[in-house]
Amino acid sequence: MNQRLASLHPNPGWSADDAPKPNPTSAITDAVGKHCILELYNCDPSRLDDEAFLRETITTAAKRAGATLLNLITHRFEPQGVTGLALLAESHISIHTWPESGYAAVDVFTCGDHTMPELACQVLVEGLAAADHKLTSFRRETPGSIAGSEREPLLAAC
């Protein structure tokens, strides 16, 4: 069965009128972190299907980003594909692979000034031997209504 990438990743169905809109009464101040969305194309299919390799690569990506890995769970599907989720003290890294299409969808979110999620993305691009990729990153901003307040726990990494 030959599937196109578009059929694997459908639009969530929002029209321009239905899409979430920012709350104009909530001023945005400083950023709490950075969120990277990484699309990997024409990857090595054997690497996309190798759960142990992906665990090692995700661990390396977290370290390279300067993040603290708290837990890593993965699952290999039959006949192919792996999903992984790395719980970080600073947030998370997730990956979903489609070896039959040479595609992987990655999400890296880290908070705090000491982390560099783009470096985690670089590890994944190189590790999965992606011939092409698209990286979109943006700052996750703190709403003004909570920017000045103390947030629990006081010693959190974020």
Q: What is the pLDDT of residues 37-71, one digit of tens each?
A: 999 999 999 999 999 999 999 999 999 999 999 99
Please state, in angstroms and rounded to a whole number, the distance separating the CA atoms of residues 1 and 91. Answer: 36
Identify the residue with better confidence: 127 or 8.
127
Beta bridge partners of residue 108, listed in sequence order: 36, 93
pLDDT at residue 86 is higher than 90: yes
The DSSP symbol for 28 reads: E
What is the model's pLDDT at position 25?
A: 42
Domains of the chain: 28-143 (3.60.90.10)
- pLDDT confidence tier of residue 5, bands split at 50, 70 and 90: very low
Strand order in the sheet with 82-88: 69-76, 82-88, 91-98, 103-111, 28-41, 132-143
Mapped onto helix, strand or coil, the DSSP state of residue 142 is strand
* H-helix or E-strand spanning residue 119: helix 117-127
Instruction: Determine the residue type at 43.
Output: C
Residues taking part in catalysis = 91, 96, 111
pTM of the model: 0.72
Higher pLDDT, 152 or 27: 152
What does the alpha-carbon distance between residue 35 and residue 147 come to, in Å, rounded to a whole number? 19
